[in-house]
Amino acid sequence: MKEPTPPAFILGNTPYVAVDTVSKKAFALIKDNNNNFMNALGVKDGDELLEMNGTPIDASSPMNVLIAGYGLEEAEAMVMKVKRKGEIIELKGKVKLNYVDGTGYKFTDQGKALMKNAWLKN
């Protein structure tokens, strides 16, 4: 069974972003076509990641960049600003989550499922 993975910028053990903490810049690191999130928005290898839905990407640490890619929902509207070859570009689209093989866990109690979703949203 395929399950969505929370981070948009990592798939399995493969990072799709490189962070330069000295210059405080994050760059797309695309070596294959496997990252659904990056593909859906049209992010290209070497793009400098600037903003996601109006929120600047804090590249002062790799963890800050990874956190920016958490908590996204499938088909959510997304506008990502990137710098490509010196030009700032707005990439617009819908979030497409990455999926991995998993055993899955299903809530049988709807109240517990709602509580889990509310907790993960915050």
CATH number, domain of 95, equals 2.30.42.10
**Residue 29, Cα to own-chain centre: how many angstroms?**
13
As a residue count, the chain comes to 122
Q: What is the pLDDT of residue 102?
A: 67
The total number of structural domains that make up the chain: 1
Domain that holds residue 23: 2-121
Q: Rounded CA gap, 66 and 113, in Å?
A: 25
* Structure confidence by residue, pLDDT tens digits, 70-94: 889 999 999 999 999 999 999 999 9
Average pLDDT over residues 52-61: 96
Report pLDDT for 122.
Answer: 54
pLDDT at 121: 67
State the average pLDDT over residues 56-62: 95
What band does 16 get if pLDDT is binned at 50, 70 and 90?
A: very high
